[in-house]
A and B are shown apart, each in its own frame.
Chain A
């Protein structure tokens, strides 16, 4: 297969998800690189089929059907050799390259262990997350658990890979050796391949390597890489991340049903889905040079990716996965964590808490059902807001720096370190939010998606809101590993849907309801005002360039340029124009149900949402 960006013209990419295998065809057209066709089929990694290539071939066949392009060879068969036709001279058949990402079977599941929770264990967690893993637990010597509790927990988890860290190079060795003892005592079995020894990556104090290896090799397959925390002041995630990817391919993927063949169909490594999305987010932020937040809210988990500048003005990438927050399988977890009242506050109608709980439980047990009524749709969108709120809070807890100390950086880590133990996520500086996942990407009304993001994340200042049209970011992330320019072109043209911009003044003391807190002009002409306690909208020509100015009406009001300062921004207008939100932060719902419903209806009416 061809991996030369100069000659590539047709690339087929799959994302093998837990439920669906989605195949996208990317082609170089006269207008440039475009996503041209797609096909989907149920993923077949589970019993009774237990062969991922069956679902992949079904998805390819659908791409063939809708595109009219012959892709598969006559002898294509599940579990066989690469099933693709090579591209012919006329270019109307076959493909040049096949790539894939995977999160089937629950994705890459890891446990991390360190000595100190807020130091080595936290660095290990960041390394695992940036490699695309779900971190099932972070175990540390100071986590408040007894030995036997840690052992029971490790035994119960059955992770794909364990990352063990602890101690700075040249420092104390005893504690990290004790963590190795705990691991051996638990002797956890890997999730796949009963006869395999658990893969363990040691990325701790280099001086303790021999002792740790000596203990671990009795029960595990050990790989040793550079310390993720060589000194208190530095974090070095690259080597651990690479080792995770290596184990992912050689121990996790290759033992998952059918993947041994799928791996042979592609010349590039199969990437964990979140790692591919992370690479895309990182690449885009690198190009734009502006702070970015991206969320993928799925049925079972919610991933948040961010790139914000640290105190030195350097971009810092972080990813978190809230493994218990989602819109279907995990919807009851959102109910438990947020509470029925918090979900109910977003509804433009009254619903008894018991009824709300039963409805969400029914979604939990029938996750593929979809809302048919507006009331049901609003309930799911209310859940989405709470899931976004909780996922962002989780993200902020990990997107922090290293105990406020100066750090050293390597070229490989330019986007993967954190600086100064402070909240890196600065919502006032945020330039763009990208929402992904069915509830956002497939919201029947784009404005509804914008409102979910605006309210779930409680955006502040001036922020662009976009959605991923068909959850294409995993495919583009893996494409970027071969042809970054093509990936970026498709990302901007076909993936990113520019929905709206939001202007949200922030003030310490709530001004009188209805009073003007900011004036907005478009291309130098007055276009509207932001009123306290109200939401409004300025329509703009979608796709047109516009110069927006937001002028606060008092010195204590911040619209994103600093207290009292006018913000000016050149934008490309989104489909839904400019949203003006004068409700202040944090958002609060009235205690009275009647007033709450009236407020919700007023917001929807102002924004032209259905049913208002």
Chain B
């Protein structure tokens, strides 16, 4: 029988993080193995092919395709500058010459003999990849990718929006259960990653953007605030490219959930430190979760503050978070792992575990409904 998935989220005070920065198309890698890099350092560069502008010559000059071809002044592969004559048509008895000029600089990509159209490819766009995390270059695949190793804290959220950002961690007033309203947002938060309690209002997110914060980390968000913030309804949990002023990372889920105590206390211990964060989330196969990375040399990799990976597996004594009703959001300790499937309230037979809640009550939960802490 397939194992229930218990991937959990990593909350590690000290670990080694490797980030491979990969170019979308082959290009140039700009550093070497052993180089030290800052988050803003450009480590690779490539050029994406430019757009093609289609010049509809017959339609523009009011002539037939064969006449356009006859009057062409360029051929495939030619470089043309804006204003160059691409086609010249001698009108009746050569009296009414009409010309069509290149609207942009480019290279003639194609000449379509059937339609008389000419495709002009514009100059390529440069793409620059930054290091994103501070650290040491440990691998270079020339022209393709650079891998950077960084030591420090690594915290995953469950969901986020917005891409890579870099800023200083600042704890907001209140605890993990405090609702993040506009009054919680300090005026001097420019360049900061604000760590709050839960359920930020749309107005609070707007306020954080106004004061120049680069990120916010909260326990949960509600659907309406997220939709208002994005300006549209999100259909799938595939994020990271939203054009939003600050990256938002949710550690627990939707609704009314405080940041897990473990996560909150680790972030509190990191207040004032610089962090890289990324809201990119991809829930489908090859899951990507949002992350906060704080490079630091004062903690050895392996310092405990969370689980050490899914391979640790479910075992009696393990701390878990329950991720589905009726105990959604509760943390618990596994007290039994019955091997045989059991019937649950819905009538389904499934593999379960027994867990002790903080109030001492022992409850039965499908294994699919817990995450390792």
Chain A residues with CB under 8 Å of chain B are: 18-20, 40-43, 45-47, 104-106, 147-148, 151, 173-174, 177-178, 180-182, 184-187, 189, 194, 208, 211, 214-215, 218, 300, 324, 329-330, 332-333, 335-336, 354-355, 357-359, 361-362, 364-377, 442, 444-445, 610
Q: Flag B286-308 by CB within 8 Å of A: 1 or 0 each.
A: 10000000000000000000000
Which residues does chain A contribute within 8 Å of B369, judged by CB atoms? 369-370, 372
Is the beta-carbon distance between B223 and A361 smaller than 8 angstroms?
yes
**Given A185, A187, A376, which contacts B324 in the complex, CB threshold below 8 Å?**
A376
Complex: how many Å from CA A173 to CA B253? 54
Q: Smallest distance from the beta carbon of B42 to chain A beta carbons, Å?
A: 21
Q: Which residue of A lies closest to B349 (CB)?
A: A444
The reply on B28 being an interface residue by CB < 8 A is: no
Please report which residues of chain B, range 352-373, place their CB below 8 angstroms from some CB of chain A when the two chains form the complex.
Answer: 365-366, 368-369, 371
Are A366 and B323 also in contact (CB < 8 A) when A178-B117, A332-B235, A358-B254 are? yes
Is the beta-carbon distance between A376 and B325 smaller than 8 angstroms?
yes
Q: Smallest distance from the beta carbon of B366 to chain A beta carbons, Å?
A: 5
Is the beta-carbon distance between B368 and A368 smaller than 8 angstroms?
yes
**Given B233, B325, B365, which contacts A336 in the complex, CB threshold below 8 Å?**
B233
Is the beta-carbon distance between B324 and A336 smaller than 8 angstroms?
no
Q: Which residue of B lies closest to A216 (CB)?
A: B110
Q: Flag B255-294 by CB within 8 Å of A: 1 or 0 each.
A: 1000000000000000000000000010111100000000
* A-B residue pairs in contact (CB < 8 Å), sample of 20: A106-B284, A174-B65, A177-B112, A180-B112, A181-B112, A185-B54, A332-B233, A354-B222, A354-B224, A357-B222, A361-B226, A362-B253, A362-B255, A366-B323, A367-B283, A369-B324, A369-B368, A370-B366, A372-B324, A372-B366
Q: How large is the interface on B (under 10, 10 to 19, 20 to 34, 35 or more residues)?
A: 35 or more
Which residues does chain A contribute within 8 Å of B233, judged by CB atoms? 332, 335-336
Which residues does chain B contribute within 8 Å of A214, judged by CB atoms? 113
Is the beta-carbon distance between A20 and B2 smaller than 8 angstroms?
yes
Q: Which residue of A lies closest to B116 (CB)?
A: A174
Q: Smallest distance from the beta carbon of A196 to chain B beta carbons, Å?
A: 13
The reply on B326 being an interface residue by CB < 8 A is: yes
Considering residues A41, A105, A330, A358, which has the most beta carbons from chain B within 10 angstroms of its beta carbon?
A358
Is the beta-carbon distance between A365 and B326 smaller than 8 angstroms?
no
Q: Smallest distance from the beta carbon of A332 to chain B beta carbons, Å?
A: 5
The reply on B37 being an interface residue by CB < 8 A is: no
Is the beta-carbon distance between B346 and A374 smaller than 8 angstroms?
yes
Complex: how many Å from CA A383 to CA B54? 46
**Given B234, B285, B366, which contacts A18 in the complex, CB threshold below 8 Å?**
B285
Complex: how many Å from CA A180 to CA B117? 11
Which residues does chain B contribute within 8 Å of A371, judged by CB atoms? 324-325, 346, 348
Q: Smallest distance from the beta carbon of A325 to chain B beta carbons, Å?
A: 10
Complex: how many Å from CA A365 to CA B323? 10
Is the beta-carbon distance between A181 and B117 smaller than 8 angstroms?
yes
The reply on B182 being an interface residue by CB < 8 A is: no
Q: Smallest distance from the beta carbon of A453 to chain B beta carbons, Å?
A: 18
**Given A18, A46, A185, A365, which contacts B52 in the complex, CB threshold below 8 Å?**
A185
Q: Flag B310-350 by CB within 8 Å of A: 1 or 0 each.
A: 00000000000001111010000000000000001111101
Q: Which residue of B lies closest to A336 (CB)?
A: B233
Which residues does chain B contribute within 8 Å of A336, judged by CB atoms? 233, 235
Complex: how many Å from CA A336 to CA B227? 11
Are A373 and B326 also in contact (CB < 8 A) when A178-B115, A364-B283, A365-B254 are? yes
Is the beta-carbon distance between A215 and B223 smaller than 8 angstroms?
no
Q: Smallest distance from the beta carbon of B86 to chain A beta carbons, Å?
A: 15
The reply on B237 being an interface residue by CB < 8 A is: yes
Is the beta-carbon distance between B325 and A375 smaller than 8 angstroms?
yes
Which residues does chain B contribute within 8 Å of A208, judged by CB atoms? 114
Complex: how many Å from CA A173 to CA B324? 58
Other A-B pairs beyond A354-B222, A365-B158, A371-B324, 7, CB < 8 Å? A20-B2, A187-B49, A211-B112, A215-B112, A330-B235, A362-B253, A371-B348
**Given A194, A332, A369, A445, which contacts B236 in the complex, CB threshold below 8 Å?**
A332
The reply on B5 being an interface residue by CB < 8 A is: yes
Complex: how many Å from CA A18 to CA B325? 27
Which residues does chain B contribute within 8 Å of A444, judged by CB atoms? 346-348
Is the beta-carbon distance between B237 and A365 smaller than 8 angstroms?
yes
The reply on B4 being an interface residue by CB < 8 A is: yes
Is the beta-carbon distance between B51 and A358 smaller than 8 angstroms?
no
**Given B52, B254, B284, B286, which contacts A329 in the complex, CB threshold below 8 Å?**
B284
Q: Smallest distance from the beta carbon of B63 to chain A beta carbons, Å?
A: 14
Is the beta-carbon distance between A46 and B51 smaller than 8 angstroms?
no
Complex: how many Å from CA A174 to CA B56? 12
Is the beta-carbon distance between B344 and A372 smaller than 8 angstroms?
yes
Which residues does chain B contribute within 8 Å of A186, judged by CB atoms? 52
Is the beta-carbon distance between A324 and B235 smaller than 8 angstroms?
yes
Complex: how many Å from CA A522 to CA B369? 45
Is the beta-carbon distance between B326 and A218 smaller than 8 angstroms?
no
Q: Flag B108-142 by CB within 8 Å of A: 1 or 0 each.
A: 01101111010100000000000000000000000
Which residues does chain A contribute within 8 Å of B222, judged by CB atoms? 354, 357-358
Complex: how many Å from CA A364 to CA B365? 20
Which residues does chain B contribute within 8 Å of A215, judged by CB atoms? 110, 112
Which residues does chain B contribute within 8 Å of A47, judged by CB atoms? 286
Which residues does chain A contribute within 8 Å of B226, judged by CB atoms? 361
Which residues does chain A contribute within 8 Å of B92, judged by CB atoms? none
Complex: how many Å from CA A247 to CA B234? 33
**Given B53, B110, B254, which contacts A362 in the complex, CB threshold below 8 Å?**
B254
Please report which residues of chain B, range 47-92, place their CB below 8 angstroms from some CB of chain A when the two chains form the complex.
Answer: 49, 51-54, 65
Q: Which residue of B lies closest to A184 (CB)?
A: B110
